[in-house]
Amino acid sequence: MLQFLARRILIAIPTVILISVFVFALQKLLPGDPVLAMAGEERDPEVIAYLREKYRLNDPVPVQYLTWIRGVLTGDLGMSLRTNQPVLVLIGQKLPVTIQLAVMAMIFALVIGIPAGILSAVKKGTVTDYAANVVALSGLSVPNFWLGIMLILLVSVRWQLLPASGYVPLSEDPVRSIETMLMPAFVLGTALAATLMRHTRSAMLGVLTSDYVRTARAKGLAERKVILKHALRNALTPIVTLTALLFGELIAGAVLTEQIFTIPGFGKLVVDAVFNRDYAVVQGIVLCTAVGFIVMNIIADALYFVLNPRLRKQ
């Protein structure tokens, strides 16, 4: 397994380099000039020249890229053009918020989606199966912003059970922090649960008709043991892959949900950086997101060896 993971990591290195090149190049093609926005309304030529020299924007694009990537390798993602703060500091402030939201949303998705998918596959063709599919399609069809607004109106305004918006750090008040995150996590988790339910159902239907499942039933094993130990374990491989990808998408930032519930996470940081032409922040966020996706895929590959004994033998 270690050799396989080592190969995966070696393959990931040129992938990250290519992503960094594309991100840097495409960023330069965006319209607008951040220096003009920073210079203010007067746009003094001396100020503009000073800013270009300070942020090395007069250098050729390849030189700018090499300077940036050299800093990335040493842990320096550059300085924000708007706030003059290190990009790494900004990401460090926002990333824990988004990770907390992503973890809570994924818990909702796993708790709802996988059991519903198993039940739908086992009860194929019954009312339970049709009901689960209707709920899953509803979860995929209902927009997150609409569901979020409805939850705020009902749960916060009418019933006054949970705060409507805002964020409290987990280190300051764990209970209050979880309360502020419950609704946005549920909004994101329902859409993910619908996707997980559909894939779990499909994987379980393929496994339940296999020879080893029929053999297990012929041996007289309890149906619950056949489903959970023999069928589910072999159906988990595509589910693990999907879960890793979905978690990576959550880390990338749930922009609409974070805006609705006023959560200061990656989503708001990305939106502000794009509108302000804050190149360094956008580059840093996209690069961190890409690395996050790659790490989640490597973790999924490692879990394959735990779930599938045949891979360990190979």
Whole-number pLDDT of residue 70: 84
The first and second tokens of residue 124, run together, are: 């194929």
Q: Where are the beta strands (DSSP E) in 108-251?
A: none
* Confidence check: pLDDT of 32 > 70: no
Q: 52-66, 190-204, 278-292: which range is least confident on average?
A: 52-66
Whole-number pLDDT of residue 107: 92
Query: pLDDT (tens digit, 9 = 90+) per residue, 115-168?
Result: 888 888 888 888 888 888 888 888 778 888 888 888 888 888 888 888 888 788
Query: pLDDT (tens digit, 9 = 90+) per residue, 213-258?
Result: 888 888 887 878 888 777 887 788 788 888 888 887 787 667 778 8
For helices 266-275 and 87-122, what crossing angle results, to 10°?
130
Q: What predicted TM-score, i.e. pTM, was given to this entire model?
A: 0.81
Q: Which of 306, 131, 250, 213 is nearest to 139 (CA)?
A: 131
- Report the share of the chain in percent with pLDDT over 90: 2
Domains of the chain: 23-76 (no CATH), 92-313 (1.10.3720.10)
The first and second tokens of residue 258, run together, are: 């974070």
Whole-number pLDDT of residue 308: 64
Query: pLDDT (tens digit, 9 = 90+) per residue, 36-57?
Result: 666 666 666 777 777 777 767 7
SS3 content of the chain, % helix, strand, coil (to 5): 80, 0, 20
Whole-number pLDDT of residue 1: 66
Can you tell me the mean pLDDT for 8-18? Answer: 83
34 compared with 175, residue with greater pLDDT: 175
